[in-house]
Amino acid sequence: MPLSASTAGESHGPALVITISGLPAGLHLDTDFINHELRRRQGGYGRGGRQNIEQDTVEYLTGVRRGITIGSPLTLVIRNNDSRLDDQARTPPVFRPRPGHADLAGSIKFLTTDCRDVLERASARETASRVAAGAVARCLLRELGIEAFGFVRTILGIGTDINVNEQTWRAVLAARDQSDTYCPDPEATLRQRAAIHEAKLNKDTAGGLVEAHIFGCPPGLGSCMDWRDKLDARLAYAVMGIQAIKSVEIGLGKEVASRPGSRVHDPIRYDPALRETHPCLGFTRDTNNAGGTEGGMTNGQPVVVRAAMKPISTLGQGMPSIDLNTMQPHQSAYERSDICAVSAASVVLENVAAFEVARALRDKFAGDSMTELRAQYHAFLDFARSLPLDPPSATIA
């Protein structure tokens, strides 16, 4: 059974529900860690009043016994404190679609003039589910020494050009956790705060750039044999599926179009000292412009994903729109909302990217239990370390 996660639940319904299939038995679920990631997603300067109401934590409904998976589908529930979907007075119909939100396209698609029916599910509240799924996947990845790290690069163009790599990332993480915009640069954080505050005064909103790095991946996750199995393609699909994301980049991203090949491709070196001790198996690179994937497979370098989040589409000042009851021009609807959720998006990106790496890992290393998965993982690394073979052209049968 491949690893997969489905989510259900409306923003102001009773709960969010996440079902994860394909987890091996014997995985310890670190509930404190999962709830910690949910709490981080709720934070960041510029969030709206909703986050004062919610206290996102997971409850397990199925698939777990005494904190350990048993191989059956795992169902998680996150209760909504602000549950009021059927309360007409507190959750009235929305007839004036917001440019940038799902309101207009969804209302036409589902043949309704009440955008509420659409926006409740389109809402970024759903990202709590995807963080929970990613955090569960990270419990598995951590058992194999694979770690994920995400942060905010820029908000409204203000940010950091800090270099993140295997040596620096833990220090960068500590700096990120000191920042209430999740940007690992104190000076940039202050300027981002000021820009978000100004957007608030102007009844406007702010987007930004978020980045995630996954460390400790062995070579060969994903596949070049079918485009659907390419890890970079799956990352792009999953990350583009995060609310408000408008572009996804791997490694150098769109900058590859502006450089000659000699300044894009990462020279290959071999360091025998790392052969036994590092999942790169000794194959090192001078740079990581490829963002850890070549041919849709991990190459032993950190996986690097970047995504651009558009500004929140609920503007205090409204935007030119149409009243769907009268078809007359009207400013778009305003409801309580965030001014900036880029910090939250960095947490979502980190966990969504980790989920895709875990999915590719399960495709390569199956097994019903953690014991089998671990054995398959280490057997593969041992086979790979036995290269070159004798005779040199042989492959391991």
Q: Which residues bind ligand EPS (CB under 6 A)?
A: 11, 48, 50, 54, 82, 119, 123-125, 127-128, 314, 335-338
The minimum distance between CB 356 and ligand EPS, in angstroms, equals 21
The minimum distance between CB 318 and ligand EPS, in angstroms, equals 14
Nearer to ligand EPS, 44 or 219 (CB): 44
Q: Which amino acid is at 305?
A: V
**End-to-end distance of the chain based on CA atoms, in angstroms?**
25
In whole angstroms, give the CA distance from residue 315 to residue 203. Answer: 6
The minimum distance between CB 22 and ligand EPS, in angstroms, equals 26
The minimum distance between CB 112 and ligand EPS, in angstroms, equals 17
Identify whether the C-beta of residue 271 lies closer than 8 Å to the C-beta of residue 280.
no
Q: Which single residue is written with the structure tokens 């059956």?
A: 72
The minimum distance between CB 247 and ligand EPS, in angstroms, equals 19
Nearer to ligand EPS, 124 or 360 (CB): 124
Nearer to ligand EPS, 12 or 362 (CB): 12
The minimum distance between CB 201 and ligand EPS, in angstroms, equals 19
Long-range contacts of 87-93 (CB under 8 A, 24+ apart): 91/12, 91/116, 92/116
Nearer to ligand EPS, 104 or 281 (CB): 104
The minimum distance between CB 52 and ligand EPS, in angstroms, equals 10
Nearer to ligand EPS, 10 or 185 (CB): 10
Nearer to ligand EPS, 232 or 338 (CB): 338
Nearer to ligand EPS, 228 or 336 (CB): 336
Nearer to ligand EPS, 7 or 123 (CB): 123
The minimum distance between CB 123 and ligand EPS, in angstroms, equals 4
CB atoms within 10 A of CB 148: 28
